[in-house]
Structure 1
Amino acid sequence: MAKHITDKDINNIVEFLDEWDLTVSLTWDKLCNAINEELSLNYTRQTLQKYVRIKDTYKSVKEHASGTKPRNKKILPSSLKVAAGKLEKLERENERLKRENSSLLEQFVVWQYNAHIHGMKMGQLNQPLPDKTRN
């Protein structure tokens, strides 16, 4: 039976995609093989595509790599190429995090509205999670 993907695995895969070398074409098979080799995670394309964070990040990296999204293509001395590459990766990660944050804020507004409609009080919403040691 296949192992279920965890939140930590999703985060590791998304961060791995943020660091993807844009000179290498990105495919689902290449991603599956790369995360198997680098992260020791063995998931299929179908499994990875079920998760919005992975799918959206894959799509964004694919757009960057294919040239659909503008990239900084200035000719740089070799001493600056590494820095430019790191900067580009950080910009992609920042873009992804902004998209994820926006999605979470939208979800929060839905929850806030539903809590108000169902008469939940602020005290109920702020109640701490149960302690795991107590059942």
Structure 2
Amino acid sequence: MSRHLTDNDVALAVNVVTDWHAPITWDALVAVLSTVLGRRITRQAIYKSHPRIVDAFRDAKARARNNRQSRKIKGKVKKHGDIALAYQIDQTENLRAQIELLKRENHNLLEQFLRWQYNAASRGVTREILDIPLPKRKQ
């Protein structure tokens, strides 16, 4: 059985998907992630255990569907030779994708916090108990 993905692995995978420029498929993503992470990973494992990667994948698919207009603009720009402008358009698209992904992740974390807050309150766990610092690690 393969190791679970660490938080760093998941963050790296999300960055790979966010920076993806070609048409994205699960097979292509799994192949790239296997190379980047240095071990084999399956679509099923990603889909079952890593919603951040799945959300990033869905965003990449949606971007691919919605960027036809952007491709037309970039094509005109490249024909006229302004490479710097085409680069800035790419950078802007990547930043917008990252912003949307972070907004969605923030929303999901806020929902999770509210769930935890409700569950803690319904079980009599006080704020003072929740605010107790973690024990210090022994060196």
TM range (shorter): 0.7 to 0.9
Flag structure 2 segments of 5+ consecutive residues without an equivalent.
none
Distance in 1 separating the partners of 2:38 and 2:44: 18
Name the Cα RMSD after superposition. 1.9
Per-residue Cα deviation, 1:8-57 (whole angstroms, up to 9, x for no partner): 11111001111111xx1111110111123344343111111121111111
Distance in 2 separating the partners of 1:94 and 1:54: 15
Percent identity over paired residues: 34
For residues 49-128 of structure 1, what are the structure 2 equivalents within 5 Å? 49-50=47-48, 51-67=50-66, 72-73=70-71, 74=73, 75-76=76-77, 77-128=82-133
TM-score normalised per structure 1: 0.86
Report the AA paired with residue 46 of structure 2. Answer: L
1:2 aligns with 2:2: yes
| Structure 1 equivalent of residue 18 of structure 2 | 18
Q: Higher relative CO (CA 8 A, sep ≥ 6), structure 1 or 2?
A: 1
Distance in 2 separating the partners of 1:13 and 1:78: 28
Distance in 2 separating the partners of 1:41 and 1:31: 13
Distance in 2 separating the partners of 1:117 and 1:3: 36
Distance in 1 separating the partners of 2:69 and 2:137: 48
For residues 27-46 of structure 1, what are the structure 2 equivalents within 5 Å? 27-46=25-44
Distance in 2 separating the partners of 1:109 and 1:53: 19
Contact kept in structure 2, 1:64 and 1:71, CA below 8 Å: no
Q: Secondary structure at the match of 1:72?
A: helix
Contact kept in structure 2, 1:25 and 1:66, CA below 8 Å: no
Flag structure 1 segments of 5+ consecutive residues without an equivalent.
none
Change (3 A) 1:71 1:9: farther
Change (3 A) 1:71 1:46: farther
Contact kept in structure 2, 1:17 and 1:58, CA below 8 Å: yes
Distance in 2 separating the partners of 1:87 and 1:34: 24
